[in-house]
Amino acid sequence: MVRIKPFIRPQQLRAALTSLPQRTSIQPFIQPTLTTTSPQTRLSSSSSTQATPTIPSPTPFVPDVQTFLTVIGRGLSQHASKIPTWDALFSLTTEQLQELGIEPPRSRRYLLRWRQRFQAGQYGIGGDLQHVSDGKAELRVLESTKDPVNPHKYVVNVPLGKSVKECALEEMSRVTGFKVQGAKTIVGPYARPIKGGEAVQIAITEGMWEDKRGRKIDGGERRRNEVRYKKRIQERREMRERGEL
């Protein structure tokens, strides 16, 4: 059996992806299979058995490919121009990402993990914000009046430039990851106080959702034993030279 894999240049792949209509799932490439013992030639049906990828809707905080790659970090934002559409971002296979030049392999694996999280509605800080303008959102303190003696205070997202009093109840949405400290101080990741002290602003920041890599000591897991063994040999050699053994 002879398998022929067509050669596809990254430029051709990007052009093909750009020409596709929005909300169209991108199926993996189908490799033609030629069988020398049979007069019939058929295409491989492996791709037809794969599930159609789920395309999640963009969110107010993450509306496009550039923002998604920016917030998950690890330098993936430099590849934003290689992925033309939101649908492509959630449809491309690891092989197609490699064709587009997204390297090294661990970057592709990391991107695929964050794709799965986003599809499941698992966002990082600020992912539940509803009122976002030019990558910025505003948080203010909403004080419940149900219990005048011990009022509850909540952190809510409001349209930029509006106070809580100017907003209707349906315009405000509670957010996670932030809390009220003291009278009206909002604390949380990437919260920058606004002049006047009654609100904070959250802005899209490179790597704000990034999973930080663990620090490698004596190399990675596969090399650690070898590195430490060589260190012990070197230490014993130095001790013999000093006459300590």
Q: Which of 167, 188, 203 is the last residue of a domain?
A: 203
Q: How many domains does the chain have?
A: 2
Which structural domain range is residue 186 located in? 132-203
| One domain for residues 22 and 79 | yes
Please give the sequence-ordered ranges of beta strands (E in DSSP) within 13-162, or none if there are none. 32-34, 42-43, 132-133, 136-143, 153-158
Find, among 145, 237, 141, the residue nearest to 187 by Cα: 141
Residue 98 is predicted with a pLDDT of 96
Mean pLDDT of the chain: 81
Residue 36 is predicted with a pLDDT of 41
> Is there a domain that residue 37 lies in?
yes
> Higher pLDDT residue, 140 or 217?
140
Say yes or no to pLDDT of 188 above 70: yes
Q: 55-69, 92-106, 175-189: which range is least confident on average?
A: 175-189
Q: 8-12, 28-32, 154-158: which range is least confident on average?
A: 28-32
> Is there a domain that residue 9 lies in?
yes
| One domain for residues 91 and 191 | no
| One domain for residues 112 and 188 | no
Say yes or no to pLDDT of 42 above 80: no
Chain segment 145-182, per-residue pLDDT in tens: 776 677 789 999 999 989 999 999 889 999 999 999 88
| One domain for residues 75 and 10 | yes
Please give the sequence-ordered ranges of beta strands (E in DSSP) within the chain, or none if there are none. 2-3, 32-34, 42-43, 132-133, 136-143, 153-158, 173-174, 179-181, 185-187, 192-193, 199-203
As a whole-number percent, the residues of the chain with pLDDT over 90 amount to 54
Residue 241 is predicted with a pLDDT of 75
> Is there a domain that residue 220 lies in?
no
What's the rounded Cα separation, in Å, for the pair 86 and 89?
5
**Three-state DSSP class for 17?**
helix
The sign of the dihedral angle between the CA atoms of 201, 206, 211, 214 is negative
> Is there a domain that residue 175 lies in?
yes
Check if the beta carbon of residue 59 is closer than 8 Å to that of residue 130: no
> Is there a domain that residue 75 lies in?
yes
> Is there a domain that residue 238 lies in?
no
> Higher pLDDT residue, 227 or 179?
179
Say yes or no to pLDDT of 11 above 60: yes
Q: What is the mean pLDDT of residues 129-139?
A: 96
What's the rounded Cα separation, in Å, for the pair 102 and 81?
11
The band of 227, judged by pLDDT with boundaries at 50, 70 and 90, is: confident
> Is there a domain that residue 229 lies in?
no
Which neighbouring-strand residues pair with 190?
none
Q: Which of 93, 119, 145 is the last residue of a domain?
A: 119
Residues in the chain: 245
| One domain for residues 108 and 139 | no
Residue type, 129: L
Residue appearing with tokens 């040999």: 233
| One domain for residues 59 and 164 | no
Residue 228 is predicted with a pLDDT of 78
| One domain for residues 72 and 174 | no
